[in-house]
Amino acid sequence: MEQFKNNVKKRIDYLGMEIAWMLREHGKTVVGEVSVKQLLGGMRGLTALVCNTSYVDPYRGLFISDYAIPEFEDKLPEEIFYLLCAGKFPNETELAELQEELAFRAELPDYLWTFIRQLPRHLHPMTMFSLCVLALEGESVFKQKYEAGELGKSEYWEYMLEDAVSLLAKLPALAAAIYRIHLLREEPMDYHPSLDWGSNLAHMLGVNPELSFAELVRLYMVLHCDHEGGNVSAFTSRVVNSALSNLYYATSAGLNGLAGPLHGLANQVCLRFIRGIHERFGESPGTDQLDAFVREELDAGRVIPGYGHAVLRVTDPRFTAFMEFGNRHCPNSPFLQTVKKLYYVVPNILKTYKEGKVANPYPNVDAISGTLLYQFGISHFDFYTVMFGISRTFGFCAQSIIALGLNQPIIRPKSVTNKWLMDALERA
Ligand code: FAM
């Protein structure tokens, strides 16, 4: 992995130079302020982190380096990992080097197979997935070297990268094993050495041999890979890693955040939502029926899954990319048709709901991703967030590799009490 490491090192050196300049010239310059509302409101809109792997523009969506979604949506997941870490796409030989390494490390250790088979069946697949990543923790080369006192601070990132490639390499076999053994109750499929990482995942899931399914899995992995640093899962993973907990600990922690219904679980909730609509109105509901249904949900105090976002203020470009895929590959799917009708109905309702309090009435990625997985044969909804988690692990890993390369310290903001805050406000 020499070329990969060299390219990541170049990026870290470049970012490090920028940071040195900012600290030298502007270490005490104030670039923002915090309101009481932000302090009490989940830090929404507060600029408090630097994350160099990706950026979310409220109106244009996800950027990785300077590339917007239409410029990278046709790439392989391993190319995206390269871009997240090195800030550039790999050339042919660089890609081949990384793919060879991923293939070399893809096999699961025997103890993990035993662990997977013994997992209680009632656990949610996200719980299984997170537990399995944690169970691999002993594989961490970073941990072994650190404990042996063999690591200088400047080498931390290199061993994070080693661990990242080993972990990512194993995810297709690991996730597919959970799906097949526990949800399908079938035997796992063998890894296919001639296939790339994403095609192997599609192949090992074993639900749909069509090329278009591999294409969907590839797109799914690319679109979910990272979404800057402040979302629940990425931030959690980074905070855990900032204590020098290795990437297995950090990834498992991030996955646990992703498992929440306001975050990654929304894709599974969305599909149940659409199925609920079909059960009630049939597979071709009218827009007036959908309008009434959505209003009922809101009146019952429930959120409309797949709509809204903490940062985005337009339709999520990841939603649009999936919609284009759906239009090409399954335009007549009743689920896709209902997603489209909801897109027509929901924003108009959310715009005026709670006196216009909903900051973004438009769909996010979760409003459609599950629909496509379902259409292509992944019929167990509980697995959808695992798919999200496999992909998001690329981002968790890249963020920590870069942060440690830049010697970022342990994350530890200061919290205060109501009393402290009220005293401060009285003095202001
Ligand atoms: N349905 C109903 N109410 C909503 C809503 C929705 N889809 N989105 C926002 N609101 C409400 C929200 O609950 C809040 O009400 P209260 O002040 O009474 O608590 C109000 O509108 C203002 O919230 P906001 O500022 O617009 O959004 P937040 O930044 O607080 O929250 C989300 C963002 C994503 C948690 C929120 O929009 C939501 O709950 N959406 C539905 C769940 C979902 O789709 N999550 C997936 C997000 C996705 F991008 C991801 O992480 N994978």
Tell the residue nearest (CA) to atom 28 of ligand 1: 310
Q: Which of 262, 314, 365, 366 most suits a substitution to test ligand 1, by most atoms within 8 Å of the C-beta? A: 262
78-260+390-405: what fold? Citrate Synthase; domain 1 (1.10.580)
Locate the domains of the chain by residue range. 78-260+390-405
Q: In testing the pocket of ligand 1, which one of 298, 304, 309, 353 has its CB within 8 Å of the most ligand atoms? A: 309
% residues pLDDT > 70 (the chain): 100
Indicate if the pLDDT at residue 1 is higher than 90.
Answer: no
User: How far apart are the CA of 48 and the centre of ligand 1, in A?
Assistant: 21
Backbone angles phi, psi at 35, to 5 degrees: -90, 165
The single-letter code of the amino acid at 279 is E
By CB neighbour count within 10 A (0-12 exposed, 13-18 middle, 19+ buried), where does 100 fall?
Answer: exposed
Q: Is 300 in the pocket of ligand 1 (CB under 6 A)?
A: no
Is the per-residue pLDDT at 203 higher than 90? Answer: yes
The model's pLDDT over 138-188, given as tens digits with 9 standing for 90+, comes to 999 999 999 999 999 999 999 999 999 999 999 999 999 999 999 999 999
> 225: CA distance to ligand 1 center in Å?
21
Query: What digits encode the pLDDT tens for the residues 100-140?
Result: 999 999 999 999 999 999 999 999 999 999 999 999 999 99
Is 213 within 8 Å of 377 (Cβ atoms)? yes
Tell me how far the alpha carbon of residue 251 lies from the centroid of ligand 1, in angstroms. Answer: 25
pLDDT tops 90 at residue 428: no
Distance 221 CA to ligand 1 centre (A): 24
pTM of the model: 0.96
Q: What is the pLDDT of residues 12-47, one digit of tens each?
A: 999 999 999 999 999 999 999 999 999 999 999 899
Atom 23 in ligand 1: residue holding the nearest Cα: 358
Report whether pLDDT(299) > 90. Answer: yes
